[in-house]
Structure 1
Amino acid sequence: MKSQVNESVPQEFILLGFSDRPWLELPLFVVFLVSYILTIFGNLTIILVSQLDPKLHTPMYFFLTNLSLLDLCYTTSTVPQMLVNTCSGRKGISYGGCVAQLFMFLALGSTECLLLAVMSFDRFVAICRPLRYSVIMHRRLCLQLAAASWLSGFGNSVLQSTWTLQLPLCGRREVDHFFCEVPALLKLSCVDTTANEAELFFISVLFLLIPVTLILISYAFIAQAVLRIRSAEGRRKAFGTCGSHLIVVSLFYGTAISMYLQPPSPASKDRGKMVSLFYGIIAPMLNPLIYTLRNKDVKGAFKRLIVKIFLIKK
């Protein structure tokens, strides 16, 4: 029995990535490193600015802080290992490391799906019910919505990770991916995974299609409300705030849906790797840039923080 378990569960996995194309490794290393540095700097900036500037102590920036913290953890769960593997000949990751990576990446990705929907609800209340905004979006509700997103995301990860890791691998250990993700690990199993793929599709509908549908409904009402605003400045400000969120939603959901809700095929193998890199690395890097470049409040708060730091140093 013990030997069968040892054969079924390898001590180490090999993350192939694009190892069949070694000329890509240096460009990928540069992209991963630059993206990770920008992700850390951008998201830490938003967290600090939102916490230190009293003018940003609002529900919108509370949820944005949650998103920035989530993106920091999201990329940290995969990118450091990818940097090590890309610049070295050995592409290994321990079994425990793979399990931790699978759990955290899935938990944080699921949480982001729900958190983006919560942020759209916040924008709906702010624009469609402005007079009751402070009453509806009180601190307790904001904490409950954020906690529900995090708990649901981690609960989903516990279930999916458990179901995936229970599959026998029969000694297979070459993961045709950059990191340990459910679709890639399902391909390693030496038994029929139809039930697991059906379960993955069902949960993907719950965490991807339903939230994105609610977001689209929210923005349909928001668009109606904005078009009724007589002031051109008011319309521009409302569309500017919501536009940032819509861009983030399009980047994240568009790539995640194409990965998890599209039937697998041999031709889509490399495309799947690139898509997962986009929602796992590029989107978290772009999120703070989108919110800061399109948001006067964040830019103003950042300038005030820099001035304070400069004055303290003097």
Structure 2
Amino acid sequence: MTELTKVRKVQVTEVGPRDGIQADATFVPTQHKIAWINRLIEAGVPRIEATSFVAPRAVPQLADAAEVMKGVKRSKDTILAALVPNARGAIRAAEAGVDQIVVFMSASESHNRKNVNCSVAESLKAFEEVAKIAGDAGIPVHGAIATAFGCPFEGDVAVEAVAKIARAYQDMGFVGMTFGDTTGMATPPLVLQRVQAVREAAPKLYQVLHFHNTRGVGLANVMAGLAEGVDRYESAFGGTGGCPFVPRATGNICTEDLLYLLDEMGIETGIDLRKMMDLACDVQAVLGRELPGQLMKAGLRLDVHPMESVRTATG
């Protein structure tokens, strides 16, 4: 068999509690969010994007961020990260005791205006204050770059624009960066191009790939990342999510589907796949709609079923 990747262990970040539900019109009760995160910890998920300390009027779904953090059963084996848009959010996140602060901005000017209502330069300037607040609190900062593979308003996004932001993140002392495929525009060649460019521009940052399955190539992009040696990925239970500031947006790649792919390739994650499948089914029941995840419907490859469960052909 041809060697597809030399990666043997991958860190999977679960973003469902934040990215997966942030755009839902119906408020998910706080106790469900806490229960989901606790079950993710029990399943062995090493890093969870638990919530976001944004203005409640901007994202009502995450208005209970502090309550969620307070209610979770913390574990030394799981990093609980939280997204913050500005210094005010960073202060709230620090007070809540998050393990890691995540800042975010877009590589394209137009989407950054839509998403956070400021320019790229203004976002970077604001992050300097966030970095100081986090540093004083002893909390590491991770930077995400949305529209890293394309913008719904501008089309192609120059690889140089992504690399420039990554370099700024490194200069501010961030520990890592995420390529956000916010628009589902990533393709394997773009993944290779951008990973290589950022590796050269900001070699001190670890890289994370965050794909959406908008055009059905989410897991193909994961394969491209693995081939390039990237060993960190973000995904959402059941394939939930989608940016509210992207036309016709669809969900993130599904955590269970990603774990199944990695497991079948012999790549270690430390996550209990069956527990994740059970959780995805429960999330689907709470949200009250069918989720796009495939494994939660089909089961594992070697799961067997009684013959009487399927009708016999006649005629």
Per the normalisation by structure 2, the TM-score is 0.25
Between structures 1 and 2, the one with greater strand share: 2
**TM-score of the pair, normalised by structure 1:** 0.25
From the two aligned structures, give the one with the greater helix fraction: 1
Greater relative contact order, per chain length (Cα 8 Å cut-off, separation 6+): 1
Tell me which structure has the larger Cα radius of gyration.
Answer: 1
